[in-house]
Amino acid sequence: MPEKESILARNATLRQLQVFESIARNQSFTKAAKELHLTQPTVSMQVKKLSEVLDAPLFEQIGRKVYLTPAGQALYEAAEAILIKLSMAEQKIDHLKGFSGGSVKLSVISTAQYFVPKVIQEFTQAYPDVTVLMRVGNKETLLDRIAKNKDDFYLLGQPPEGLNVNSDPLAINPLAFLANANHPLVGKSLSVEDLKDEPFLMRETGSGIRAQVEKVFHDFNYQPRVKMVLGGNEAIRLGLLQNLGITVASVPTMMNEINRGEIAILKVKGFPIHRYWYLAYPNGKVLSIAAEELIKLLKIEGKSLSDQAFDKLS
């Protein structure tokens, strides 16, 4: 083994390499500290020690960003490869552990939180030794977590673009115009032009549903009269129940209220928009047996949701 490598192996720690890799990837000490849940002085000290081991500067700072020196670039390539190998080894070990302890981590878009907990409950009853950690966020949050390989798998409203992932449709997620069941337009055959004066409840910026709806509205040359911008599907649901306006939302997420006669699907030409929930995970990801089993149960529930949605819209 070359002398420099032996010095690095004897004196550098994996934590120092992890801190260094995060700074290099984020081009920021502050962002690395936040990502690793460390204080900024701790991050700076770890890099200083690593630089002293190598007797070479690893970063140079220009403005608010930091950049790798030639020595830093050489170390970054090695650190990245080491951390990837360790992550793959951990995934394989988790797979071998199967259902004996361990955890499954998933992140889902807000609309999926209406059916995923039911599946998780069924899963944890069958496998009580496995911990399931679910995070809910909008499209932007999930894309960031995918890029950083934070979870085992993800449920999104559309396949992620520009990321090296596997993605497959899990269940149909039609978007339709919805209104309070007592709204005077319920039961009428409509066009989007008939809705131009109706107060509209819009999802927040960053929502996958909002992006899709705005695209379709553009195609229809329809400009809704936005009354409120609401953050999350739950706020939209409450807005409909209070008869604050109409909206375009996921039909499966409102199925209970639709079945109880509280919310109604408006018959609008060109709707529903046929979308899907997609299950995605990074290429090369080694899923544990527990994660694979949870995915199987989600696919079963997905088929049931699709069947219910088709029945309600037919």
pLDDT of residue 84: 85
The reported pLDDT for the residue numbered 1 is 43
Report all structural domains of the chain as residue ranges with CATH numbers, in order of start: 3-94 (1.10.10.10), 98-171+276-313 (3.40.190.10), 175-268 (3.40.190.10)
Answer for the pair 278, 167: CB distance below 8 angstroms, yes or no. Answer: yes
CB 217 within 8 A of CB 224: yes
Give the pLDDT band (50/70/90) at residue 115.
Answer: confident
Q: Is the pLDDT of residue 22 over 70?
A: yes
Q: pTM for the complete prediction?
A: 0.60
Question: For position 238, what pLDDT does the model report?
Answer: 94
Which of 94-98, 101-105, 114-118 bottoms out in mean pLDDT, i.e. has the lowest?
94-98
For the chain, what is the mean pLDDT?
87
Worst-scoring range by mean pLDDT, 62-71, 84-93, 253-262, 298-307?
Answer: 84-93
- Cα–Cα distance for residue pair 56/43, rounded to 1 Å: 17
Let me know the angle formed at the C-alpha of 191 by 247 and 204, rounded to the nearest 5 degrees.
20
Alpha carbon distances (Å) from 4 to 10, 20, 124 = 10, 18, 49
CA distance 7 to 14: 14
Q: What is the pLDDT of residue 49?
A: 92
Residue 289: per-residue pLDDT: 85
pLDDT at 119: 93
User: In the predicted model, is pLDDT for residue 135 greater than 60?
Assistant: yes
- Beta-carbon neighbour count of residue 215 at 10 Å? 11
What percentage of the chain has pLDDT greater than the value 90? 44
Cβ contacts of residue 25 below 8 Å, gap of 6+?
none
Among 85-94, 129-138, 153-162, 201-210, the minimum mean pLDDT is found in 85-94
The arithmetic mean of pLDDT across residues 98-102, rounded, is 64
Question: Do 110 and 203 contact (CB within 8 A), yes or no?
Answer: no
